[in-house]
């Protein structure tokens, strides 16, 4: 990952220029909060994905300004959703630091998230190539993000999440934005429709694998330094891939018992340990890793339509990093 980031550093600097310019405000509270958030930008996974796709699918070097605009827009949208999610989840920490919501309150965090979202859309509207198409793409993604979160909330209260429900949830929450990042990047360099779709498919599968890996962390004791407490997903009654894998092999009676335990976690928090033990005893983490690896390899297969390049190699490495990362 460090190698890819170093290779992309000039492009990432351009992305950061667009982000920082977009977030400037003459309101001191807003401007200081934005600058504070930008001091801890996270992995920048989505802009990295966008830059690699643009270089791999396009013929121009360096890519046009629109590439950096769209990449910056994906990062702004991603962080807007994090600001909102922290309010919804009541989260007090993000990336090991206090959340905006915990310091300034939920109302302020929502408003700042709205501001980032508006700046995302402004960046897209300022592009020269197919801004209307990319705007529609981002609008669809915002809808998917919202639907994914709401479906997850609904299923948490009923504890009846199926594999199909889970895939829809993680597509909405995570994979849809990966997909938009890759497709907008391919559009920015005038790639063929075949390549645009192939890059969208690659990113969609990459996003599924990325979220499954996140959900696996919730069941791994050694993952306690990932930036959130281990077991928090279960505490929030989220039925994710490790548990789903085990439930698929369980008897009807066991399925009913485990789902009942999850449903009653708010009144019986000790149920979290019982469910985690059930997953561990039945190799749920290993089974979930097999599912994740399937999506990683399927994502890599989508790169076959790309011409050979260093960026194509890095896209494959990025997919494998998603499955091997430890935070």
pLDDT-based confidence at residue 228 (cuts at 50, 70, 90): low
251 dihedral zone (left: phi>0; alpha: psi -120 to 50; beta): beta
pLDDT (0 to 100) of residue 43: 86
Torsion of CA 231, 81, 208, 53, to 10 degrees: -140
Cβ 321 vs Cβ 220: under 8 Å: no
pLDDT-based confidence at residue 229 (cuts at 50, 70, 90): low
C-alpha 209/C-alpha 232 separation (Å) is 20
Show me where the domains of the chain are located.
2-324
Angle of helix 193-217 relative to helix 45-57, nearest 10 degrees, comes to 150
pLDDT in tens, 231-249: 788 999 999 999 999 999 9
**b/e map of 275-295 (b: 16 or more CB within 10 Å)?**
bbebbeebebbebbbebbeeb
**Best CATH choice for the domain 2-324 from the list 1.10.150.20, 3.90.1150.10, 1.10.10.10, 1.10.600.10:** 1.10.600.10
On the question of a cis peptide bond just before residue 66, with omega within 30 degrees of 0, the verdict is no
Mean per-residue pLDDT for 312-325? Answer: 93
SS3 94: strand
Mean per-residue pLDDT for 47-55? Answer: 97
Contacts of 288 (CB under 8 A, 6+ apart): 212, 215, 216, 219, 240, 241, 242, 244, 245
Cβ 242 vs Cβ 216: under 8 Å: yes
pLDDT in tens, 87-119: 988 888 887 789 999 999 999 999 999 999 999
- Mean pLDDT of the chain, nearest integer: 93
pLDDT (0 to 100) of residue 62: 81
C-alpha 45/C-alpha 43 separation (Å) is 5
Mean per-residue pLDDT for 20-45? Answer: 92
Residue 160 has pLDDT above 80, yes or no: yes
Burial (CB count within 10 angstroms: exposed 0-12, middle 13-18, buried 19+), residue 32: exposed
pLDDT-based confidence at residue 224 (cuts at 50, 70, 90): very low
């Amino acid at each position: 990952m460090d190698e890819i980031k170093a290779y992309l550093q000039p492009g990432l600097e351009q992305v950061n220029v667009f982000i920082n310019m977009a977030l400037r405000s003459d309101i001191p509270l807003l401007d200081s909060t934005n600058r504070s958030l930008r001091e801890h930008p996270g992995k920048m996974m989505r802009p990295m994905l966008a830059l690699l796709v643009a270089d791999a699918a396009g013929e121009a070097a360096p890519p046009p300004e629109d590439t950096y605009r769209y990449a910056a827009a994906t990062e702004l949208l991603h962080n807007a959703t994090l600001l909102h999610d922290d309010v919804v989840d009541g989260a007090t920490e993000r990336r090991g630091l206090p959340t905006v919501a915990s310091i300034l309150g939920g109302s302020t965090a929502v408003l700042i998230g709205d501001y980032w979202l508006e700046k995302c859309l402004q960046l897209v509207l300022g592009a020269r190539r197919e801004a209307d198409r990319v705007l529609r793409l981002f609008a669809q993604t915002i809808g998917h993000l919202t639907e994914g979160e709401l479906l997850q909330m609904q299923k948490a209260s009923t504890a009846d999440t199926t594999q199909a429900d889970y895939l829809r949830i993680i597509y909405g929450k995570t994979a849809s934005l990966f997909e938009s990042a890759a497709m907008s990047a391919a559009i920015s360099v005038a790639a063929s429709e075949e390549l645009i779709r192939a890059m969208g498919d690659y990113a969609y599968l990459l996003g599924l694998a990325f979220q499954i890996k996140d959900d696996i962390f919730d069941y791994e004791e050694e993952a306690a330094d990932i930036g959130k407490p281990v077991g928090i997903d279960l505490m929030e009654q989220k039925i994710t891939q490790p548990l789903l894998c085990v439930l698929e092999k369980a008897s009807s009676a066991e399925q009913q018992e485990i789902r009942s335990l999850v449903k009653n976690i708010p009144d019986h928090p000790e149920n979290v340990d019982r469910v985690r033990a059930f997953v561990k005893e039945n190799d749920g983490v290993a089974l979930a890793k097999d599912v994740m690896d399937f999506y990683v390899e399927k994502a890599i297969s989508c790169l076959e339509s790309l011409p050979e390049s260093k960026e194509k190699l890095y896209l494959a490495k990025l997919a494998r990093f998603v499955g091997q990362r430890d935070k």
